[in-house]
Amino acid sequence: NAGVTQTPKFQVLKTGQSMTLQCAQDMNHEYMSWYRQDPGMGLRLIHYSVGAGITDQGEVPNGYNVSRSTTEDFPLRLLSAAPSQTSVYFCASRRQGSTGELFFGEGSRLTVL
Amino acid sequence: SQQGEEDPQALSIQEGENATMNCSYKTSINNLQWYRQNSGRGLVHLILIRSNEREKHSGRLRVTLDTSKKSSSLLITASRAADTASYFCATAETSYDKVIFGPGTSLSVIP
Considering only CB atoms, which chain A residues are within 8 Å of B63?
A: none
Residue of B nearest to A109 (CA): B40
pLDDT in tens, A35-62: 999 987 789 999 999 999 999 999 999 9
Considering only CB atoms, which chain A residues are within 8 Å of B96?
A: 56, 98
B92 interface with A at CB cutoff 8 Å:
yes
Our CA-based measurement puts residue A25 at a distance from the nearest CA of chain B, in whole angstroms, of 14
Q: In what order do the strands lie in the sheet with A76-78?
A: A4-7, A19-25, A76-78, A64-66
pLDDT of residue B69: 95
pLDDT of residue B3: 62
Q: List the single best residue of A50, A90, A102 to mutate versus B (max B Cβ within 10 A).
A: A102
Instruction: Provide the strand spans (E) within chain A.
Output: 4-7, 10-13, 19-25, 31-37, 43-51, 54-57, 64-66, 76-78, 87-94, 103-104, 108-112
Q: Do B11 and B105 meet the contact criterion of CB atoms below 8 Å apart?
A: yes
Give the residue from A94, A95, A91, A53 showing the smallest Cα distance to A75: A91
Rounded CA-CA distance B65/B50 in Å is 8
Task: List the single residue in A35, A58, A98 with the smallest CB-CB distance to B30.
Answer: A98
B43 contacts: CB under 8 Å, gap ≥ 6: A43, A90, A92, A102, A104, B35, B36, B37, B88
Rounded CA-CA distance A101/B58 in Å is 15
pLDDT of residue A97: 63
Q: Do B109 and B96 meet the contact criterion of CB atoms below 8 Å apart?
A: no
pLDDT reading at B86 higher than 80: yes
Q: Which residues in chain A (57-96) have CB-CB distances under 8 A to chain B?
A: 58-59, 90, 92, 96
Considering only CB atoms, which chain A residues are within 8 Å of B42?
A: 4, 90, 104-107
Q: Average pLDDT, stretch B85-96?
A: 85
pLDDT in tens, A80-108: 999 999 999 999 999 876 567 899 999 99
A102 interface with B at CB cutoff 8 Å:
yes
Considering only CB atoms, which chain A residues are within 8 Å of B93?
A: 98
CB contact under 8 A, B97 and A48: yes
CB contact under 8 A, A99 and B45: no
Per mean pLDDT, which range of A2-6, B28-32, B42-46 is the poorest? B28-32
CB contact under 8 A, B42 and A105: yes
